[in-house]
Amino acid sequence: MKQRAGSKALIREINEALVLDVVRTQAPVSRATIAVQTGLSPASVTGITGKLIQSKLLVEAEMIRDTGGRPARLLELGRDGVFAAGVRLSATAALAVVVDLRGGVVSTASEPLTSTSPADAAKAVAKVVSAAVGSRASRLIGVGLALSGVVDQSTGIVRHSGALEWAEVRFQEILEAELDEPVVIDSYVNAYARGLLFDGTFTGRELLVFSVGTSLGAAVVVEGRIQRGFNGSAGGFAHARSLTSSEAPRECHCGAEDCFETRSSLWGMRQELQRRGLQREVDPDADSDVIADAALHLGIGMANTAKVLGPQQVVVAFAPEANIGKFAELSGGAFQHQYAHSNTPSPLLTNAIVDHEALARGAACSVMASLFSARESQPNAESA
């Protein structure tokens, strides 16, 4: 069959990704093991790894001795070949990190936001990325950005962000023009999930990740892959309908009423305090009833979602500011209670307090992960 234009370059790209992924997950690893794991010939592996060493994507580590023949050197990912930047964008600040090929954070920077307009936010992101990247600019392969809201990653459109008061904003396009770098944008929770997957902790698993902070979010992971859904709508947990009650409906910033966001997010709890005439942050002691109500609805909502999808594990990522009183403990109890009469056991539930840097790192890992992913539907091949 006649090869398409650029097909040889594509095959090289695929095979390099295969090799890098084996090294990422099994390092330190021998060339012989890489050949077995990828199905590539030893000669091809030697050629590919030689080019990757030359570009500093791989480095030779310790030497091993086989029972016969000459000693072989094991391979690891390099730390100086390429870098990716990640940014956590909120309504008040942009936090940037730079990660190396292994996902390690090598530098950070922060920049306050004076305005949440997309143009002003893009300028703040560009400034903070420049500060974090510094002298590594020539080795930067892209920028990932995480924000609170519903994001269609494939188009780079922020469908809705209550925190930023955005709707249908083509922020990837705006940011790429400002940075002159390729950009990947995602929600907080998907970025955090990407960081977990990059580290290999949940490889191949069915997983649900919930983020709890000013807003709520969910990431759906099937066989180790984040599911995006149509128009990036998968994981739209925050704006599912909460329990009805005899009290007056709670209006959500999305325009609907009684979303989980109105009860179980920090924004929702603050709104409830304002309805009571209290202009302050949630107090663990004075507002224990508000926290308990938020936890009840959060636990029920997470369980309902988990029962539909049947994950192996549920991870609840609480922002530091949402680590208040017994919120995490009570929501976990409400979650487990929903399985009291289930014919299947509840999935493993894990709570984590996730700082802002972890979200920025996850956004950077979204960029770095492209180096380890062979394009779907393409055959593994030696060459053509």
Whole-number Å distance between alpha carbons of 262 and 264: 6
Same domain, 190 and 254: no
Q: Which residue has the tokens 């002691």?
A: 285
Same domain, 67 and 134: no
Whole-number Å distance between alpha carbons of 59 and 78: 5
* pLDDT averaged over every residue in the chain: 90
Looking at per-residue pLDDT, the higher value among 264 and 248 belongs to 264
Query: Is residue 377, in this structure, part of any structural domain at all?
Result: no
CATH code at 235?
Answer: 3.30.420.40
334: which 2 tokens?
């409400």
Residue-number span of the structural domain to which 67 is assigned: 7-78
Whole-prediction pTM: 0.88
Averaged over 35-49, what is the pLDDT? Answer: 95
What is the model's pLDDT at position 3?
41
Same domain, 228 and 118: no
CATH code at 59?
Answer: 1.10.10.10
pLDDT in tens, 309-350: 999 999 999 999 999 999 999 999 999 999 999 888 899 999
The helix/strand/coil state of 97 is strand
Same domain, 74 and 87: no
Q: Which residue has the tokens 């069915």?
A: 206
pLDDT in tens, 78-125: 999 999 999 999 999 999 999 999 999 999 999 999 999 999 999 999
Query: Is residue 384, in this structure, part of any structural domain at all?
Result: no
Cα distances from 28 to residues 22, 319, 368, in angstroms, run 10, 35, 19
Q: Give me the number of domains the chain comprises.
A: 3
**H/E element holding 38?**
helix 31-38
Same domain, 153 and 186: yes
DSSP per residue, 239-296: TSB----SSPPPBPTTS-BSBTHHHHSHHHHHHHHHHTT--SPPPTTTTHHHHHHHHH
Edge-first strand order for the sheet with 166-169 is: 150-152, 157-161, 166-169
Looking at per-residue pLDDT, the higher value among 53 and 379 belongs to 53
pLDDT in tens, 157-178: 999 898 899 999 999 999 999 9
33 has pLDDT over 90 = yes
Cα angle value 105/356/184 (rounded, 5°): 70
Same domain, 333 and 211: yes
What is the model's pLDDT at position 342?
86
Q: Quick one: which of 291, 302, 358 has its CA closest to 329?
A: 291
Whole-number Å distance between alpha carbons of 265 and 334: 16
Same domain, 149 and 205: no
Q: Within 13 Å and on the Cβ side, how many CA atoms surround 343?
A: 0
Confidence band of 8 (pLDDT split at 50, 70, 90): confident
Same domain, 210 and 304: yes
Residue type at position 4: R
Cα distances from 56 to residues 242, 287, 356, in angstroms, run 51, 55, 30
Whole-number Å distance between alpha carbons of 240 and 251: 13
pLDDT in tens, 182-202: 999 999 999 999 999 998 877
Same domain, 232 and 264: yes
Q: Quick one: which of 24, 91, 79, 80 has its CA closest to 356?
A: 91
Same domain, 111 and 61: no
Task: Kindly give, in sequence order, each residue whose CB lies less than 8 Å from that of residue 365, ignoring residues fewer than 6 positions away.
Answer: 84, 86, 99, 103, 144, 191, 194, 195, 198
Whole-number Å distance between alpha carbons of 375 and 176: 23
Whole-number Å distance between alpha carbons of 149 and 191: 12
7 has pLDDT over 90 = no
229 has pLDDT over 80 = yes
Task: Kindly give, in sequence order, each residue whose CB lies less than 8 Å from that of residue 10, ignoring residues fewer than 6 positions away.
Answer: 375, 378
Whole-number Å distance between alpha carbons of 384 and 381: 8
- How far is it between the farthest Cα atoms of the chain? 80
What is the model's pLDDT at position 139?
96
Whole-number Å distance between alpha carbons of 7 and 333: 54
Same domain, 211 and 348: yes
63: which 2 tokens?
């030497």
Q: Give the highest mean pLDDT range of 23-27, 47-51, 205-209, 341-345.
A: 47-51
pLDDT in tens, 265-313: 999 999 999 999 999 999 999 999 999 999 999 999 999 999 999 999 9
Whole-number Å distance between alpha carbons of 264 and 287: 13
98: which 2 tokens?
């730079």
Of 78, 101, 130, the residue at which a domain comes to its end is 78
Query: Is residue 101, in this structure, part of any structural domain at all?
Result: yes
Residue type at position 188: Y
Same domain, 234 and 336: yes
